[in-house]
Amino acid sequence: YGTACINKEGHLEVGGIDVVSLAEHYGTPLYIYDVALIRQRARGFKNTFEQLGVTAQVAYASKAFAAIGMMQLANQEGLSLDVVSGGELYTAMKAGFPAERIHFHGNNKSREELVMALEHRIGCIVVDNFYELELLESICKEKSEKVNILLRVTPGIEAHTHDYILTGQEDSKFGFDLNNGQAEEALKRAMDMTGVEVLGLHCHIGSQIFETTGFKLAADKIIQKLSEWKNRFQFESKVLNLGGGFGIRYTEEDEPLEPAKYVEEIIKEVQKKTDEHNLAMPEIWIEPGRSLVGDAGITLYSIGSEKFVPEVRKYLAIDGGMNDNIRPALYNAKYEAILANRANDPVEETVSIAGKCCESGDMLIWDLPLPKASHNDLLAVFCTGAYGYSMANNYNRIPRPPVVFVENSQAELVIRRESYDDLVKLDLPLNVTVKQ
Ligand code: LLP
């Protein structure tokens, strides 16, 4: 992936830096990001829109990996930013991210979060439900403000990897149903409001999707509705946000498209359908998370103990696990890995990689072919850049690993390692004493 290669010493190298030296310097576990690859992915999306002559915003879905340094990188690349909480918004403000390119998502934004978004004058709020619509209108009235919104609709298409399900009504906690009049009702109410300006519609059909069929179906359904709404309410959608969800290759079984290919096929469909319905081509927004940062991330671990279950398997334990990557335990997600310090050595055995949490389910990889490895070795797990650090936790009071960016033979720490002091900093001593 990206700039990753094996150097003369037989070590894994990323961004021109030997990861063995990174392990010596920063310790393990360690998240490493190949910055050049993130830039390449971002430019891949942006250039395709430019080549197609379509006005667009590519918003980085920061839930995939939210950190000040990451948001600054997204800004350098001219991306917009999708945030889903006050915490992500706060991080974006700390990063100096231009507020007008921030979009705020979420199915239960609090009054405080909405006020915060208004105070920072962010570009757009993606309104999810009637409660939020009314709340936002009342806050805007109080403050005599007007804010741009998108209405999040659920078009009745659920997509996951190769499968997509077409349903009349989508059973999802998100958005206004496009098929049962909810979305129409939301539009009518919003158009009558003085505090909000409806820029357009948003939908997000799923994550880790390998085909464009679901996106195209969703776009078709929405454009069909937009055509109706133009005639009935003189409503014209300036923006159509098609969400994120473009898949990446975690293992050889995954067969994603190139970012450019996703965009091209979807745009062609939108152009065709808008032409058919005599609608102006809206501005297209997308919100990739995983496909911008997923394969740019590698997690480096030290191998520690081992256990042999005769005739069954050999377990090798690493110094991290479900704390820094919950995806195998949560979604049965699959990863590939190599020995970072002996990357050219021939495969000799099949082992299973165990995490260090007190939980049998803390298994990172089952049945991984590796050279004979022991406690002197480093394991590099690929494609951990999305939903790795951002879903990391302190179960068993294990501190979260640091994050280092590498590019052009330079390494830069963007999140430091959590210390034991960090772990107890919110704890308060017990004041109540036992009555004798
Ligand atoms: N936009 C919206 C409204 C979303 O809900 C999401 C992801 C995205 C964009 C970005 O999707 P992406 O391009 O990253 O697929 N924790 C899960 C993934 C959850 C995705 C939630 N929403 C995982 O680790 O696979």
Do 221 and 355 lie in a common domain? no
435 assigned to some structural domain: no
- The span from the CA of 248 to the CA of 258, in Å, is 9
Q: Are both 301 and 247 inside the same structural domain?
A: no
Q: Same structural domain for residues 281 and 301?
A: no
Indicate whether 44 and 9 sit together in one domain.
no
Q: State which of 247, 268, 290 marks the end of a domain.
A: 290
Domain annotation covers residue 436: no
User: What is the mean pLDDT, run by run of 10 residues, along the chain of 436 residues?
Assistant: 95 98 98 98 96 97 98 98 98 98 97 98 98 98 96 89 66 92 97 98 94 94 97 97 96 92 95 97 98 98 97 97 97 97 97 97 98 96 98 98 98 98 97 87
Gap from CA of 409 to ligand 1 centroid (Å): 31
| Residue 123 is assigned to a ligand binding site | no
Domain assignment present for 171 = yes
Closest approach atom of ligand 1 to CA 333? 25
**From the CA of 290, how far away is ligand 1's center (Å)?**
7
> Are 111 and 229 part of one and the same domain?
yes
**What pLDDT does residue 169 have?**
67
Same-domain pairing of 215 and 165: yes
Would 286 be classed as within a structural domain? Answer: yes
Q: Which residue range forms the structural domain that includes residue 94? A: 35-290
Domain count, the chain: 2
- What pLDDT shows up at residue 244? 95
Token pair for 49: 């829109």
Ligand 1 pocket test: pick from 287, 326, 391 the residue with the most ligand atoms within 8 Å of its Cβ: 287
Residues 222 and 306 in one domain: no
Ligand 1 binding residues, C-beta < 6 A: 61, 64, 82, 105, 204, 207-208, 243-246, 287-291, 327, 331, 386-387
Q: Is residue 433 part of a domain?
A: no
**ipTM value for the complex:** 0.99
Give the domain CATH number at 116. 3.20.20.10
For atom 6 of ligand 1, the residue with the nearest CA is 244
Per-residue model confidence (pLDDT) at position 166: 65
Q: Is 256 part of any known ligand binding site?
A: no
Domain check: are 89 and 175 in the same one?
Answer: yes
Of the residues 259, 290, 321, which one is the last residue of a structural domain?
A: 290
Instruction: Report the nearest atom of ligand 1 relative to the CA of 387.
Output: 24
Distances (CA, A) of 219 to 98, 267, 275: 29, 9, 13
Is 434 within a domain? no
Q: How far is CA 127 from the centre of its chain?
A: 20
Do 79 and 19 fall into the same domain?
no
Same domain, 239 and 382: no
Residues 381 and 236 in one domain: no
CATH number of the domain that 352 lies in?
2.40.37.10
The residue from 260, 290, 320 where one domain ends is 290
Same domain, 76 and 114: yes
Distance 207 CA to ligand 1 centre (A): 5
Q: What is the 3-state secondary structure (H, E, C) of the chain?
A: CCCCEECCCCCEEECCEEHHHHHHHHCCCEEEEEHHHHHHHHHHHHHHHHHCCCCEEEEEEHHHCCCHHHHHHHHHCCCEEEECCHHHHHHHHHCCCCHHHEEECCCCCCHHHHHHHHHCCCCEEEECCHHHHHHHHHHHHHHCCCEEEEEEEECCEEEEECEEEECCCCCCCCCEECCCCHHHHHHHHHHHCCCEEEEEEECCCCCCECCCHHHHHHHHHHHHHHHHHHHHHCCCCCEEECCCCECCCCCCCCCCCCHHHHHHHHHHHHHHHHHHCCCCCCEEEECCCHHHHHHHEEEEEEEEEEEEECCCEEEEEECCCCCCCCHHHHHCCCCCEEECCCCCCCCCEEEEEECCCCCCCCEEEEEEEECCCCCCCEEEEECCCCCCHHHCCCHHHCCCCCEEEEECCEEEEEECCCCHHHHHCCCCCCCCCCCC
